Amino acid sequence: MSVVVVTGANSGIGRAVAIHFAGLGHTVYGTVRHVDKAAKMKAMAADAGVEINVVELDVADDESVRTGFATVLEQTGGVVDVLVNNAGVGGNAVAEECPTSLYLDVMNVNLCGAVRCLQQVLPGMRERRAGTIVNITSVTGRIAALAQSPYVTSKWAFEGLSEGLAQELAPFGIRVVIVEPGVTKSAIFAKNIDAPNQTGAYDAAYRRMFQFYAAGIPAATDPVEVAKVIEQAITADEPKLRYAVSWGGPELVEGRARMSDEEWVALGNHEHDSDYYDDFEHRFKLSLRPS
């Protein structure tokens, strides 16, 4: 059995992954920003008959990451077999209206947070010539979702980091897995409701973005399905680098791959929502039209 560290384990995908891997018999450490707010996660783990070792760790802070992983490594004899970089935040805005401070804040969590964590475990993995880094990016790391510029930018950066990391670590026998969820049941959506729209010029972009989630959330995939994909990726004899999962994930990735760049730009040029929804469904086989 392996030692598995899951960041952002207090809710959504992270919590599901931590509980799932503990149920498989692995020793699981779940990181949370505040231990005193982890009661629900602990209760769900108890209901599942598993134990998760809870570690207080804020991926946005250098010292917090060093301290948290020092605790983990002390308890495991310096061994972490699997790191699941899951912790993340959303961020809605079009580029014209997004302060650079928001880009930096989102990037600090979604990109730099993962870098901080992997830097703590890679020396040991290299020494043992074994280990797996699982980076949970997003389907928005493959397709530039409307009116979520800081979030999209951070996830594209995380994809680039991950693709390069896979080559960097291949000589050491360390596996890198990129998991790209679409809409998955998670508390992040309830928190991600900002729509700056300061100029009023981008009404359509914000409206269509929220309609995407209005269509997707009722059909959102259980995060346990993401956990099962991660299990498959870790254990596969011939793993893939990327796994698109959850509602809209494969459809968006495959649909964008079929489109030319000119067709992609034209999708944003529809004046009427009904035309946009028709074109979107044609391209991605997903219906966004309000019922």
**Which residues carry out catalysis?**
151
State the DSSP string of 115-159: HHHHHHHHHHHHHHT-EEEEEE--GGGTS--TTBHHHHHHHHHHH
* Cα–Cα separations (whole angstroms), residue 269 to 60, 149, 185, 204, 283: 37, 17, 31, 10, 15
Are 88 and 136 in contact, with CB atoms under 8 Å apart?
yes
State the DSSP string of 221-279: BPHHHHHHHHHHHHH-SS--SEEEESBTHHHHHHHHHHS-HHHHHHHTT-SSHHHHHHH
∠ Cα 138 143 144 (to 5°): 100
Q: Give dist(CA 289, CA 207) in Å, integer.
A: 12
Say which residues have a Cβ less than 8 Å from residue 170's Cβ, sequence separation at least 6: none
84 strand-pairing partners: 6, 134
Residue type, 60: A
Are 259 and 251 in contact, with CB atoms under 8 Å apart?
no
